[in-house]
Amino acid sequence: MWISTRGQYGLRALVELARETKPLAIKEIAERQGISGAYLEQILALLRRAGYIKSTRGAFGGYMLSKAPDQITTLEVILTLEGSLAPVACVEDSSSCNHVNACGTENLWRRVDATVTSILLGCTVADLLEEAEFKDAVQVMKQQEAKPNYQS
Amino acid sequence: MWISTRGQYGLRALVELARETKPLAIKEIAERQGISGAYLEQILALLRRAGYIKSTRGAFGGYMLSKAPDQITTLEVILTLEGSLAPVACVEDSSSCNHVNACGTENLWRRVDATVTSILLGCTVADLLEEAEFKDAVQVMKQQEAKPNYQS
DNA sequence: CTAAATCCGAGTAAATCAGTAGGATTTATC
DNA sequence: GATAAATCCTACTGATTTACTCGGATTTAG
């Protein structure tokens, strides 16, 4: 598990915010996700300072996205919350290598890094919301199946 | 940096072993890589117990690969040393999810996991050795370029 | 016998993770 | 203006992991 809960919770919180058009309170998001509100608060603070969300203080306050969901890539969010996604240090900073022999692993790690980066760059919060809403719809369909319609 | 030095050092040690046909001592590998011998020893113990290398004890002892380099994928080595490569917990164990709403991030993390896995599965120790030897050759060529040949 | 090597278990300083705790500030509503 | 509901901010903490170090037991070539 190399994406910490900070990144996961943050991304999922953005999806929840993308569902709404009015401010959503930490407490509400935390309940939907089944996680600690105080912890989520710290994560949302990072996302706010990075400009992805804006807050309304006071009663009936909460958070809203400050950009359109399709303008927020999962890459930037994860980089904001996790710092870096490089599999090994030398992918970020090639001076961090001190081995004597030529290292055969460099290309491998660069390829891994580039691929992960490209997947996350190609996936926005809007895409995640779409997936979540599709799952919601499937869930509703299954419930209706289980409950046969006596009216027909 | 989500691949720890345990995985990196272990993989690089295997490449060193793949260069040799006789036992190579920890001390020698550690010097070539510029890392701690006592730490490397623990890593090699894991690789030995997992069956990738065999040891010869006593004077003039050391380690050798116990399989052909092209029969050892980087995936199995990294899994042995790192435990798991799943980006998030629910990719390994779907019961570890407790959120209430549908989660839009599941497919994303599964895609990342599958892609990383496939890259590592498609790269063997032989491939890493080839890259290392290519770099060695380039290094030699550069040195000869810098030192013009007065005999011609 | 000795030197060189692996084998094995214990310990450890530092960093990170996943929170908890508590108080200050802001704001809508009564 | 008081109150309740919310964000804001900083500090602390227990558990785990990381990247080692250390010491000694065992094995083996010469």
Check whether residue A146 has its CB closer than 7 Å to nucleic acid strand C. no
Q: B8 — contact with chain A (CB < 8 Å)?
A: yes
Rounded mean pLDDT for each run of 10 residues along chain B, 152 residues in total: 97 98 98 96 98 98 98 98 96 83 94 98 98 94 84 60
Give the tens place of pLDDT for each residue, B90-107.
Answer: 999 888 887 788 899 999
Check whether residue A100 has its CB closer than 7 Å to nucleic acid strand D. no
Check whether residue A45 has its CB closer than 7 Å to nucleic acid strand D. yes
Q: Count Cβ atoms within 10 A of the Cβ of residue A33 and give its class: 0-12 exposed, 13-18 middle, 19 or more buried.
A: buried
Residue of chain B nearest A35, judged by CA positions: B99
Q: What is residue B64's DSSP assignment?
A: E
DSSP E strand stretches across A7-129: 53-56, 62-65
Best CA proximity match to B7, nearest among A59, A148, A108, A78: A108
Phi, psi of B62 (to 5 degrees): 155, -160
Cβ–Cβ gap B103/A1 under 8 Å: no
Using CA atoms, how far apart are residues B143 and A119, in angstroms rounded to an integer? 40
| A102: confidence class by pLDDT, cuts 50, 70, 90 | confident
Specify the residue for token string 């010097």: B31
Alpha carbons within 13 angstroms on the beta-carbon side of residue A91 total 22
| pLDDT tops 70 at residue A100 | yes
Specify the residue for token string 């958070």: A63
Q: What is residue A51's DSSP assignment?
A: T
A95 CA from C12 C1′ (Å)? 28
Coarse DSSP helix, strand, coil percentages of chain A, rounded to the nearest 5 percent: 60, 5, 30
Q: Are A74 and A130 in contact (CB under 8 A)?
A: no
Cβ–Cβ gap B87/A111 under 8 Å: no
Q: What is the pLDDT of residue A93?
A: 86
Best A76, A78, A98, A108 residue to mutate vs chain B (most B CBs within 10 Å): A108
Q: What is the pLDDT of residue A96?
A: 82
Phi, psi of B33 (to 5 degrees): -95, -10
Question: What is the pLDDT averaged over residues A21-36?
Answer: 97
Best CA proximity match to A7, nearest among A65, A83, A112: A83
Q: What is the pLDDT of residue A50?
A: 98
Pairing of strands B53-56, A62-65: unpaired
Q: What is the pLDDT of residue A152?
A: 54
Best A1, A4, A88 residue to mutate vs chain B (most B CBs within 10 Å): A1
For strand C, the positions having any atom within 7 A of a protein Cβ are 3-10, 16-22, 25-29
Q: What is the pLDDT of residue B102?
A: 87
Using CA atoms, how far apart are residues B128 and B138, in angstroms rounded to an integer? 15
Cβ–Cβ gap B135/A12 under 8 Å: no
**Which residues, other chains included, contact A50 with Cβ-Cβ below 8 Å and sequence gap of 6+?**
A80
* Cα A119 to chain centroid, rounded: 13
Specify the residue for token string 């090639």: A94
Question: What is the pLDDT averaged over residues A26-47?
Answer: 97
Q: What is the pLDDT of residue A148?
A: 79
Q: What is the pLDDT of residue B82?
A: 97
Specify the residue for token string 């060193």: B16
Using CA atoms, how far apart are residues B44 and B30, in angstroms rounded to an integer? 11
| Mean pLDDT, chain B, integer | 95
Nucleotide nearest to A3 (CA to C1'): C17
Coarse DSSP helix, strand, coil percentages of chain B, rounded to the nearest 5 percent: 60, 5, 30
Question: How many Cβ atoms from other residues are within 10 Å of residue B106's Cβ?
Answer: 18
**Secondary structure of residue A116 in the 3-state scheme:** helix
Give the tens place of pLDDT for each residue, A61-78.
Answer: 999 999 999 999 999 999
Higher confidence at residue B55 or residue A143? B55
Using CA atoms, how far apart are residues B35 and B16, in angstroms rounded to an integer? 13
Nucleotide nearest to B3 (CA to C1'): D18
Q: What is the pLDDT of residue B148?
A: 79
Using an 8 Å CB-CB cutoff, list chain B residues near A2: 2, 85, 87
For strand D, the positions having any atom within 7 A of a protein Cβ are 4-11, 17-23, 26-30
